[in-house]
Amino acid sequence: MAGPRTRVWRPGRPVPVRRIVGQQRRGGGDPTQRVIGETVWRGSRTPDGPATLALSPGPDRVEARAWGSGADWVLDRLPALLGDADDWTGFEPRHPVLVEAQRRHPHLRLGRTGLVFEALMPSIIEQKVTGQEAFAGYGALVRRYGEPAPGPGADRRLWVAPAPATVVGVPSWAWLELHVDPARSAALVRAAERGAAWERFADRPAGELDRALRSIRGIGVWTSAEVRARALGDPDAVSFGDYHVARDVGWALTGEEFDDRRLAEFLEPWRPQRGRVPFLVGAAGLHRPRRGPRMAPRNHLPRRAPGG
């Protein structure tokens, strides 16, 4: 096994590596991201090929090691992944809860991967289902159709998500076994058919990516925001349509649960950085009290006939 490519990044400020990179994690069992001791491990499919990235934080530095054909690619973009491109200039918290959240988390930033399809795949799978169902479906897809991460990633049970061409080739019956219904699987296949073209948007304005995403049947406002937040670190991305976001922001900042209309009106003064408001509410761990039983996952598999 070839040795790793390495990089030591000294940002001149504390970097909460685990929390920033954790923005990319899709549930506790995400096979593409693991935390072992103090080291954060990520498996990614870059334009140059698969990569394993290991990040070890220190008091004044972040030590990074990478393996695979995409190693140089992920190391070159290490500062952006850790929020170095996230500029809070012009953002005014305005509300005491947000002021306090920003005071308590002064070094928390929005990271960006620059990998659009990597963010798009799980975002489509997460549409309109419970978190448990979404994370299980994505994890199953990665383990069945992805590949072990390069270098020591495989020994740490780290995976790289499948390429767009692989997703296009997944048969319809397999999606049902993965508990991904036809509406979501069809949207994902339509997106995957554009292949590497998605990565061209990594360095373009977020509005261009939003328009391209929403031109795909089955991709709407919520999915676009989820992708832009992770791939581009878009500070104006708000997940309208989410089951929790509007309710939690309203409860945390006014004591009343919002719907999407009220959330949009409330956030308007923060444009073009509206996404920082739910970001800070989440960073502070604020959410309305959960009531009632949790939603049960749905079963997308056809029912068997008696004796079948």
Give the position of tokens 């360095």: 203
So what's the pLDDT on residue 308? 37
d(C-alpha 57, C-alpha 64), whole Å: 9
Q: In terms of residues, how long is the chain?
A: 308
Closest C-alpha to 77, from 227, 192, 233 = 233
Give the position of tokens 């261009």: 208
So what's the pLDDT on residue 291? 63
So what's the pLDDT on residue 130? 79
So what's the pLDDT on residue 246? 96
CATH fold of the domain at 5-105+112-232: Endonuclease III; domain 1 (1.10.340)
**What separation in angstroms does the CA of 255 have from each of 85, 164, 250?**
33, 44, 6
**Stretch(es) of the chain classified as CATH 1.10.340.30:** 5-105+112-232
So what's the pLDDT on residue 1? 56
pLDDT in tens, 180-206: 999 999 999 999 999 999 999 999 999
d(C-alpha 98, C-alpha 166), whole Å: 43
186 contact partners, CB below 8 Å, separation of at least 6: 218
d(C-alpha 217, C-alpha 235), whole Å: 25
Closest C-alpha to 36, from 155, 163, 181 = 155
Do residues 186 and 171 lie in contact, with contact meaning Cβ atoms separated by under 8 Å?
A: no
- Dihedral sign from CA coordinates of 266, 268, 269, 271: positive
Closest C-alpha to 45, from 134, 158, 136 = 158
State phi, psi for 67 to the nearest 5 degrees.
-130, 160
**DSSP secondary structure string for all residues of 24-79:** G--STT-TTEEEETTEEEEEEEETTEEEEEEEEE-SS-EEEEEESTTHHHHHHTHH
**What separation in angstroms does the CA of 18 have from each of 21, 54, 119, 211?**
5, 11, 18, 31
Do residues 215 and 209 lie in contact, with contact meaning Cβ atoms separated by under 8 Å?
A: no
d(C-alpha 149, C-alpha 20), whole Å: 21
pLDDT in tens, 4-32: 999 999 999 999 999 999 999 999 899 99
Neighbour tally for 300: CB within 10 Å: 18
pLDDT tens string for the chain (308 positions)?
Answer: 567 999 999 999 999 999 999 999 999 899 999 999 999 999 999 999 999 999 999 988 999 999 999 999 999 999 999 999 999 999 999 999 999 999 999 999 999 999 999 999 999 999 987 777 878 999 999 999 999 999 999 999 999 999 999 999 999 999 999 999 999 999 999 999 999 999 999 999 999 999 999 999 999 999 999 999 999 999 999 999 998 999 999 999 999 999 999 999 999 999 999 999 999 999 999 888 866 444 444 444 444 333 33
d(C-alpha 267, C-alpha 285), whole Å: 19
So what's the pLDDT on residue 294? 44
So what's the pLDDT on residue 306? 34
Beta strands in the chain (DSSP E): 5-9, 33-36, 39-46, 49-57, 62-67, 147-148, 159-160
d(C-alpha 108, C-alpha 193), whole Å: 35
d(C-alpha 57, C-alpha 65), whole Å: 12
